[in-house]
């Protein structure tokens, strides 16, 4: 059974409490439960990880090649400026899908640039929690 790591970046632990008009009222725990359940339906073993710390995210990304078959990442605010996360993703060999709950291209100008997209296999943005489900389905055909 393929193993997929889902990484959630900074402030995503506050989902359901912060800016619900943008991110919705689902908690991160609920999203993780739904993603793990969909993974089972697709025959995938899904593991989740969230951190507000850039270094912890980089370290976890670096473990993907030895522990997982693919990565789904929502870098959150780090999307727009973390060269460290971008370089960590570039260094792994497994497929990576970047996801975002909101459509970053319909938001503030500073949110419309992703330094991660160029090293991801694909990007899914703007479908709320379903962005993660769409990413799992995309990975199913890649692994």
- For the chain, the residue count is 143
Contact between 91 and 138 under an 8 Å Cβ cutoff? The reply is no
How far is 20 from 90, CA to CA, in rounded Å? Answer: 32
State the catalytic residue, choosing from 8, 23, 80, 81.
23
Structure tokens at 28: 């991160």
Q: Is 23 a catalytic residue?
A: yes
**What stretch of H or E contains 98?**
strand 96-100
How far is 11 from 60, CA to CA, in rounded Å? Answer: 17
What residues have CB less than 8 Å from 13, skipping those under 6 apart? 28, 50, 52
Q: Which amino acids are annotated catalytic?
A: 23, 100
């Amino acid at each position: 059974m393929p193993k997929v790591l889902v990484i959630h970046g900074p402030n995503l632990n506050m989902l359901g409490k912060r800016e619900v008009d943008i991110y919705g009222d689902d908690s991160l725990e609920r999203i993780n439960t739904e993603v793990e359940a969909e993974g089972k339906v697709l025959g995938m073993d899904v593991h989740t990880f969230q951190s507000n710390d850039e270094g912890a995210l980089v370290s976890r990304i670096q473990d993907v090649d030895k522990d997982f078959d693919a990565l789904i990442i929502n870098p959150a605010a780090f999307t727009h400026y973390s060269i460290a996360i971008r370089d960590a993703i570039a260094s792994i060999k497994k497929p990576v899908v970047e996801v975002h709950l909101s459509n970053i291209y319909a938001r503030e100008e500073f949110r419309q640039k992703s330094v991660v997209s160029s090293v991801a296999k694909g990007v899914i943005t703007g479908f709320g929690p379903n962005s993660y489900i769409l990413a799992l389905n995309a990975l199913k055909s890649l692994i």
